[in-house]
Every structure is written in C-alpha cells, then in structure tokens.
Amino acid sequence: MKSHIWRPLYAVIGIVAIILIVRVFIVPESFGVHEKGYMYGWYNKSDENYWKEFKVKYRSSGYCKDCHSDNYSSIMQTPHAIIQCENCHGPAIDHPENPAKLDINRSREQCLRCHSYLPYMQSDRSKIRGIDPDKHNPGIECVNCHNPHKPSLESLK
C-alpha cells in the first residue's frame, strides 16, 4: 500500500499505544468490575476505605454518660430524656481532647424546633406542648426561665 495510507495509520496506532500505556499507570489496580457486575459495580474498590475511615463526629449519649453522670441521670428523669446530648451540646468528636469545650446551643430557636406549636394533626408535632413564638415573651431566651434539663413547668426558676 502507499505510504500516505500507512503514515496516518502509524500515527493512530502510536496514539492508541500511548493511551494504553498511560492508562496502566493512571488506573489503579483495584479498579474494575466487582460484586454488583458491570452496570453497578464498575469502580475502584479501594475507595470504599475512604468512606469507611471517614471521621465520626457524633458519639451519642453513651459517650457522655460516664464523665457527666450527674447531668446524664438527671435529664433521664425528664421528658427530655429522648433528646441526645449532642443535639444541644454539639458533636463530641474527640472531646475532651478535641474540642476541649463544647459550644452549647442555648438559643430560643433551638427550643422552638419542637415547642413552637403547629396544628398538624397527622404529625406528633401537634401533641408536643408548645407556644406561639410571636406571643410568648418574644425576643427573650427560653433558658432565662426554663431549665432544659428540668423542663417541667413546676420547676420554673
């Protein structure tokens, strides 16, 4: 055959060869078809470790109860026992090393998440004792009068 056919063909073969060589170095060995087959399981298997080793921040109330046993046991006597410590005190992460002190959310908005009354009968929201935030002491922090660890109205400060 004439060289004007062969020359571009050599160029194409060369480019394909370069791509294949580069691919060997770029694509990790764990990349390929795995358990779920080609359609759903074509991926880099080692990436699963990235997600398995992701940092846990919320440690749950069980992590708090040994050191803060007095606060833990007192809140357990109240209806607020169902609320995890970290929902108001923030994620523990590696407390007490990091962070040494947790930033407590004492805002009015935090209480209103549940205690702003909404008349939604198909939700248990309507069963929670609530207030109208526009009428019930607007602008004042709830914790000035109410103690979230002793929420009953009888123990108002």
Partner 1 sequence: MITRRDFIKYSLQGIAAIAVPLTAIEIINPSRLFASKDTKKVRWGFLVDTQKCVGCGLCVRACKLENETPYDANVSRTWVERYVLTKDGKVFADSPKAARDGFITDKIELGHGKLEEIKKDDIEKAFFVPKLCNQCENPPCVQVCPVGATYQTDDGVVLVDRKWCIGCGYCIMACPYGVRFFHPAYGTAEKCNFCYHRIKKGMKTACVEACPFGARMIGNINDPADEVGKIIRIERVSVLKDEFGTKPQVYYRGLSKEVR
Binding site for partner 1 (CB under 8 A): 31, 34-37, 39-44, 47-48, 50-58, 60, 82-84, 86-87, 90-91, 109, 112-114, 116, 118-125, 128, 133
Helix/strand/coil for 54: coil
Closer to partner 1 by Cβ: residue 74 or 110: 110
Closer to partner 1 by Cβ: residue 31 or 72: 31
Q: How far is it, in rounded angstroms, from Cα 101 to Cα 89? A: 10
Taking the complex as a whole, the smallest distance from the CB of residue 38 to partner 1 amounts, in Å, to: 9
Closer to partner 1 by Cβ: residue 4 or 135: 135
Helix H segments across 1-157? 3-26, 37-40, 47-52, 69-76, 85-89, 108-115
Q: How far is it, in rounded angstroms, from Cα 32 to Cα 22? A: 17
Closer to partner 1 by Cβ: residue 5 or 19: 19
Taking the complex as a whole, the smallest distance from the CB of residue 12 to partner 1 amounts, in Å, to: 23
Taking the complex as a whole, the smallest distance from the CB of residue 84 to partner 1 amounts, in Å, to: 6
Supply the DSSP symbol for 116: B
Taking the complex as a whole, the smallest distance from the CB of residue 121 to partner 1 amounts, in Å, to: 7
Find how far residue 67's CA is from the centre of its chain. 24
